[in-house]
Structure 1
Amino acid sequence: MPYITRRKVRFQHCDPAAIVFYPRYFEMINSVVEDFFAEVVEVDFRAMHVERHVGVPTVSLETRFHAPSRLGDELEFNLVPTAVGSTSLTLSIHARCEDETRLSCRLTLVFVDMDSGRPIPWPDAMRQRLVTELS
């Protein structure tokens, strides 16, 4: 089942033509991933970064922009985990506005120790929640 959340296109996201400036989509994607971890994996980024000294940096990102999004649009983001490795997670994210696909993205995150910067295995509880969400 996909994780679904919405983002309103605000002035801060737009270029002078009032369409989303593409780097802002990556900020939106990151906020969707952050919300997914907090709400579904039940470990928020503060707990990971500040308390546990672990993180999930993006190591691969492939994005296609299908149509422009404009100031005031309400975007629906659908996130689906597609693969869980021993230290990695691949996600598929699609953003739509009404019946139109605006972007599609495939990204891979790696679970790392923030002190060493090296990949480490998912903790059992986090891995189990991720596996449960696989499409």
Structure 2
Amino acid sequence: MGFRTKAQVRFAHIDAAAIVFYPRYFEFLNGAVEDWFAAMGHDFHGLHVRRQLGVPTVSLQCDFQAPSELGDILDIAIEPRRIGGSSCAYDFRMSVDGQQRISGSGVLVCMDLAARKAVPWPDDMRSAMNAFLVVA
């Protein structure tokens, strides 16, 4: 199933070449992860402040296929592939009107913010994530 969201390329995202400055794609990705968790009922405020849990990225690989420009609307897909004890491996894609701009994979880890260490996914979060799992 996966998760889909959109993001607009704004002036702050582009560089002197008038294309998205590549680190901004990681900000778009982080925003999409935040949207995904909110869609699962686990907004980042509640997750970080009330539950003292974080979901940092511990691995990220990507390939850039084409540049994005000011005003583009990025279609962002997050497709979880494997949910481990405390990790979630996923693929992601960003495209504009069907043209791929960047694709890759990453791993998120459930982290106890106070202890600064990985912990198992709480049952409610694991259940919510499973609903988005993409089985190959």
Instruction: Settle same-fold status: TM greater than 0.5.
Output: yes
Distance 2:113 2:122 in 1: 15
Aligned to 1:118: 117
Distance 2:128 2:102 in 1: 26
Aligned to 1:56: 55
Q: Within the alignment, does 1:22 sit opposite 2:22 as a pair? A: yes
Q: Gaps spanning 5+ residues in structure 2: where?
A: none
Distance 1:91 1:82 in 2: 5
Aligned to 1:96: 95
Q: Within the alignment, does 1:46 sit opposite 2:45 as a pair? A: yes
Distance 2:54 2:8 in 1: 27
Q: CA deviation at 1:132?
A: 2.1
Distance 1:129 1:49 in 2: 17
Identical counterparts, % of pairs: 44
Post-superposition CA distance 1:56-100 (Å, at most 9, x none): 010000011100001111110111111100100111110111121
Distance 1:2 1:122 in 2: 18
Q: CA deviation at 1:18?
A: 1.0
Q: Gaps spanning 5+ residues in structure 1: where?
A: none
